[in-house]
Structure 1
Amino acid sequence: HFAHRQMETLTMDREVMYLRDSLIPKYSALIYNGFWFSPEREALQALVTETQRDVTGVVRLKLYKGNIIVAGRKSPKSLYDPQIATMEATGTSTYDQSDATGFIRLNALRLKVRAALKSSRTNESASRTSD
């Protein structure tokens, strides 16, 4: 199981892993409750099967005093590409560092809206208290 999960981290998209993992409790409940032949279990199985399509490769593990240590991973279906993974500002880099500014602003927008709403509620509450 540990080695398989390590291979998944190399060959599966993070969001696909998150989706699959979020549906596993439902899948387990269906089986536990005897719905093996149900259409919803079959639909979830199709999703799980599809997520595993490219999970192939070799994981080397070391065992030491009850611990499992990953010594290496490789896969012909690896999503890791050193050209994309680099954050260096080179002409050959796929990553444009200026993209991070927009990404951070966009992700922070919901937090700014929440803070403004919270501040406005606090101000309303304070003005009612002083009246």
Structure 2
Amino acid sequence: MKSRGIYETPGGTILYQAHMDIEVFTMDRELLRVKQKLADEFAEQVYRGLWESPECQFTRFCIGKSQENVEGTVTLSLYKGGVYILGRKSPFSLYNQDLVSMDVQGDYNPVDAGGFIKVNALRLKEYRRVLEMKGKGDAC
């Protein structure tokens, strides 16, 4: 059976772009990554007509939980079919001027990166060792 749905929604596109912008501004990077995966799963569930299924209810709950601090104002401009973000503000912004300032010393100490780099390099070194053991020095 064919659906006669409408796939062009300029108002929806504008709201979606504004919402995505405020999400990036108010959500932790890893939470946003998980939420985006859930959004793809949710779209598939809805498309397949599984709105009342337990997995769709769970997905909606998780997405709703991710949105608890997504609040604010996005200023945008519309021009020739494009949506252009001009600015945003939120009481729950994760942006911290003191952390990104070159003039103010925040809690970040560049020496701390050494441990992080070493821990992440362990898996890469092990991956390389296995490749070399197999005689495949090139990963690609």
Question: What range describes the TM-score normalised by the shorter chain of this pair?
Answer: 0.7 to 0.9
CA contact (8 A) 1:11 1:79 kept: yes
Root-mean-square deviation (Å): 2.0
Alignment: residue pair count:
121
Q: Which structure shows the bigger proportion of residues in helix conformation? A: 1
Normalising by the residue count of structure 2, what TM-score does the alignment of the two structures yield?
A: 0.76
Residue 27 and residue 75 in structure 1: after superposition, are their counterparts in 2 closer, same or farther (change >3 A)?
A: same
Counterpart secondary structure, 1:122: coil
Q: For residues 107 and 40 of structure 1, what CA distance do their matches in structure 2 show?
A: 34
> What is the CA-CA distance between 1:66 and the residue it aligns to?
4.1
Who is 2:28 aligned against?
Answer: 13
Normalising by the residue count of structure 1, what TM-score does the alignment of the two structures yield?
A: 0.81
Who is 1:94 aligned against?
Answer: 107
The amino acid that maps onto 1:96 is: N
Q: For residues 96 and 81 of structure 1, what CA distance do their matches in structure 2 show?
A: 16
- Any runs of at least 4 consecutive aligned residues in structure 1 with deviations exceeding 6 A, and if so which? none
The amino acid that maps onto 1:29 is: E
Structure 2: give runs of 5+ residues left out of the alignment: 1-15
Who is 2:99 aligned against?
Answer: 84
Q: For residues 63 and 31 of structure 1, what CA distance do their matches in structure 2 show?
A: 30
Write out per-residue CA displacement over residues 26-52 of structure 1, whole angstroms, 9 at most, x where no aligned residue.
Answer: 222222222211121111111111111
CA contact (8 A) 1:7 1:73 kept: yes
Judge which range, 70-79 or 24-33, deviates more: 24-33
1:55 aligns with 2:58: no
CA contact (8 A) 1:89 1:97 kept: no
Counterpart secondary structure, 1:41: helix
Residue 89 and residue 57 in structure 1: after superposition, are their counterparts in 2 closer, same or farther (change >3 A)?
A: closer
